[in-house]
Structure 1
């Protein structure tokens, strides 16, 4: 991985943690998530004016990616309703590189060096320990941990699909722009069906998340999809999860979430696993 790609993914990690904190910190998380996803649309439409059409071979990937992204958004939303950012975010993001690495080895024929196998073990240890941390009121929150792990499964799924799809499309930006437009349409349809009042409030109450969160989220994942075409998917996915450090800081400094030794150690373990996976490709 080149230095430019490395720094770009780190920047994406910070943006990703930022919009997650914005959603978690809002009172109406359904409104926040809807505003964020619909906020992708202006950026995507602007990009479509200047990039070529994706190769038709990537259309199945776009379709599968839509299903996985919507599933991820709904699952993440439920996780944030019952769990702390400093618990939910690290578990969800830590699960993803573990699953991506396993699929890469068993199904895609990717060879992992011993150091990378050690990284998987360390990440797994971090995830297991995070599932045992206490929530803000001092009680165990296994339901939030289970939802976060499920969210991580969706992250792993769309990471693999989008990485392969962007390569097949021949245009990473074009691939994600069409994916974002489709995602916005599906999200608008879901809100119109389940929460029509929420959809009407996005231009007013959700304007801040629409503009700031939507922009941060779009730029973050567009950068990651581009990086998928420049470096191994498993490596990019692992490096992106350095965002757990940013999430820990944002959750404690701005959301006033309870910080304890368990969260610090578990987050550190998961981050260490991501770093080891990065070093395994040097």
Structure 2
């Protein structure tokens, strides 16, 4: 990967951690996820006339990704209801790189060099130190189980979208239509929760919509890089967001313990450097 591509993915990783913090800090996480879906769909509808549509071969992948995202939002909502940001987020992101890399071998015929595998394993190991170091007697295992479910959904839509965007013939068109389809997710969430949406303080409504725009930008940047870079490598780099999420968890939400953060950050950083040097 080029330095340019690495910097794009790292910036997307920061944005991803930021919008997850918005969800974690919300009083009603299900409504917040619906607002984030709206924050995806509205800007996408505005730019769709300029981007156009992907080829028909990509449409099944957009449908599949949208359905998987429903499961993703359900698991994410459950995980943040019962677990800390600095534990749930690293677990859900930590299992993703290896799952995506393995899936890319079987589904996309994408074989990575040994150096890339070393980098992916380093990043996953660092994330493991970060997540399991935060477990203790007070750990809610429902949140942990939901975090693993979230990670499985992330790996699934990452593979589906990684293949779909390559078949699309129009990267921006694929991203735009994918985000427009999020309107169905929002409709599903709000259809039985309209009173909760009305009762939500306006500042949370605006922060949810803003979180959706941030989330859309983060995933759009990742999909752009996936259109030309190895899926497993991009996924691994994206998971550097766990460092940002852990810092936010400690500084913003006062989560702990803090002792394992530095070691995990160093291991993840080593993995990123190895990936950056791999050709």
**Taking structure 1 as the reference length, what is the TM-score of the superposition?**
0.89
In the TM superposition, what are the counterparts of 1:122-271 in structure 2 within 5 Å? 122-126=122-126, 128-130=128-130, 132-134=132-134, 139-193=138-192, 195-201=193-199, 204=202, 206-266=204-264, 268-270=266-268
- Which stretch shows the higher mean deviation, 83-92 or 268-277? 268-277
Name the CA distance, whole Å, in 2 between partners of 1:127 and 1:266: 6
Residue 40 of structure 1 aligns with which residue?
40
Task: Supply the distance in 2 between the matched residues of 1:4 and 1:230 (Cα, whole angstroms).
Answer: 12
Question: Structure 2 CA distance, aligned partners of 1:12 and 1:94?
Answer: 16
- Would the aligned equivalents of 2:93 and 2:151 in 1 still touch at CA under 8 Å? yes
- The match for 2:68 is 68
Is the 2:93–2:242 Cα contact (8 Å) retained in structure 1?
yes
Counterparts in 2 of 1:12 and 1:127: CA distance versus 1, 3 Å: closer
Partners of 1:202 and 1:39 lie apart in 2 by: 16
How big is the alpha-carbon RMSD for the aligned residues of Structure 1 and Structure 2?
2.3
- Change over 3 Å in CA distance of 1:6–1:127 after alignment to 2: closer
How many Å apart are 1:181 and its aligned residue? 1.7
Separation in structure 2 between the aligned mates of residue 227 and residue 26 of structure 1, nearest angstrom: 31
C-alpha distance 3-132 of structure 1, shift in aligned 2 (>3 A): closer
Contact map agreement 1:86 1:263 (CA 8 A) in 2: no
Are 1:2 and 2:9 counterparts? no
SS of the residue corresponding to residue 50 of structure 2 reads coil
Deviation at 1:124, TM superposition (A): 4.5
Deviations 1:225-282, CA, capped at 9 Å, x for gaps: 111112111111111111111111111111111232235434554554454344333x
After TM superposition, the structure 1 = structure 2 runs for residues 112-131 of structure 1, keeping only pairs within 5 Å, are: 112-126=112-126, 128-130=128-130
**Is the Cα contact below 8 Å between 1:238 and 1:278 reproduced in 2?**
no
Indicate conservation of the 8 Å contact 1:104/1:110, yes or no.
yes
Q: For residues 146 and 234 of structure 2, what CA distance do their matches in structure 1 show?
A: 24
1:13-32 pair list within 5 angstroms: 13-32=13-32
How far, CA to CA, are the matches of 2:45 and 2:258 in structure 1? 43
Once residues 131 and 239 of structure 2 are traced to their aligned partners in structure 1, the CA distance between those partners, rounded to angstroms, is: 17
- Once residues 217 and 5 of structure 1 are traced to their aligned partners in structure 2, the CA distance between those partners, rounded to angstroms, is 18
Q: Tell me if the contact between 2:120 and 2:233 (Cα under 8 Å) persists in the aligned partners.
A: no
Q: CA contact under 8 A between 1:88 and 1:145: conserved in structure 2?
A: yes
Determine if contact 1:244/1:271 at 8 Å carries over to the other structure: no
Structure 1 unaligned residues grouped into runs of 5+: none
Within 2, Cα distance between the matches of 1:271 and 1:88? 20
In structure 2, relative to structure 1, the CA distance for the partners of 1:67 and 1:270 (3 Å cut) is: farther
How far apart, CA to CA, are the structure 1 residues paired with 2:167 and 2:263? 40
Classify the secondary structure of the residue corresponding to 1:261.
coil
State the aligned residue count. Answer: 279
Offset, 1:29: 1.2
Q: Where does residue 57 of structure 1 map in the other structure?
A: 57
Give distance in 2, aligned partners of 1:132 and 1:2: 32
Match of 1:96 in 2: 96
Mapped partners of 1:31, 1:163: distance in 2: 28
Q: Which runs of 5+ in 2 are unaligned?
A: none
Q: Is the 8 A contact 1:188 1:199 kept in 2?
A: no
